[in-house]
């Protein structure tokens, strides 16, 4: 399981693009998908914290926190920008942070209220995706926006990292979190141009 820092060291430009979309409104903002006890997806808005140390999230006492404590699989999707249809997505496993000095440092960075019952999780990165669709304002209603330029990274240490060739990508955060598998893309450094199919493992 790769940390965000390891992913960013391997693909810094991709990590910067994803970080920009996750933090486009200042504090981190995205949609977190977790796995319910019955196996179904659960989606909630969250405020992820991205630093040079890693990708983190303060999660209050809630069904989504119990999901993460029981089954660490997650998927995180960016909030839609106002001026484009670009999107970012990461998925992997959540693990509680137990180092109190680290918790305190990140609580200060993330401005986590001390009186709130939250728990800090670090999110590993098994797969990361960035889709660029250009300026949404240049497309009139009813017109096709064209195929996005999609870049996908897979943790080289994860099972199934080497897969068959693919050339287009579609992402469903909830289904990937539910399935819990890596995305079948052969070259994690490639920019996909829209001529094939990219599927989450079932």
| Cα–Cα distance measured from residue 20 to residue 88, given in angstroms and rounded to the nearest whole number | 9
Look at residue 161 in the predicted model and tell me its pLDDT.
Answer: 56
pLDDT by residue (tens digit) across 94-122?
999 998 888 888 877 777 777 667 889 99
Q: Are 181 and 168 in contact (CB under 8 A)?
A: no
Residue 202 has pLDDT above 60, yes or no: no
What is the percentage of the chain residues whose pLDDT exceeds 90? 49
Average pLDDT over residues 153-168: 60
Write down the pLDDT at residue 113: 73
Report residue 130 CA to chain centroid gap: 10
pLDDT tens digits for range 58-92? 898 999 999 999 999 999 999 989 888 999 999 99
What is the percent of the chain with per-residue pLDDT over 70, rounded to a whole number? 71
Q: Strand ranges (DSSP E) for 5-140?
A: 30-35, 41-46, 48-50, 55-60, 73-78, 87-96, 118-123, 127-132
Going by pLDDT thresholds of 50, 70 and 90, the confidence category of residue 198 is: very low
Tell me the C-alpha distance between 166 and 200, whole Å: 12
Say whether pLDDT at 11 is over 60.
yes
Which of the two residues, 8 and 170, has the higher pLDDT score?
Answer: 8
Q: 187 and 167 in contact (C-beta within 8 Å)? A: no
Mean pLDDT, residues 189-196 taken together = 34
SS3 20: helix
Q: What is the pTM of this model?
A: 0.74
């Amino acid at each position: 399981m790769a940390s965000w820092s390891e992913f960013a060291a391997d693909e810094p430009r991709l990590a910067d693009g994803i970080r920009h979309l996750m933090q486009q409104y200042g504090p981190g903002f995205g949609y977190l998908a977790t796995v319910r006890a019955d196996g179904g997806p659960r989606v909630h808005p969250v405020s992820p914290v991205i630093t040079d140390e890693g990708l983190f999230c303060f999660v209050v006492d809630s069904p989504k926190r119990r999901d993460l404590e029981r089954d660490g699989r997650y998927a995180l999707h960016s909030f839609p920008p106002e001026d484009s249809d670009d999107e970012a997505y990461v998925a992997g496993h959540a693990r509680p942070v137990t180092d109190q000095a680290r918790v305190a440092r990140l609580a200060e960075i993330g401005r986590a209220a001390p009186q709130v019952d939250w728990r800090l999780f670090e999110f590993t990165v098994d797969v990361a995706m960035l889709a660029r669709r250009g300026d949404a304002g240049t497309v009139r209603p009813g017109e096709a926006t064209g195929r996005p330029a999609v870049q996908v990274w897979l943790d080289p240490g994860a099972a199934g990292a080497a897969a068959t060739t693919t050339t287009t990508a579609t992402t469903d955060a909830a289904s990937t979190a539910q399935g819990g598998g890596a995305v079948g893309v052969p070259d994690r450094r490639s920019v996909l141009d829209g001529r094939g199919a990219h599927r989450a493992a079932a």
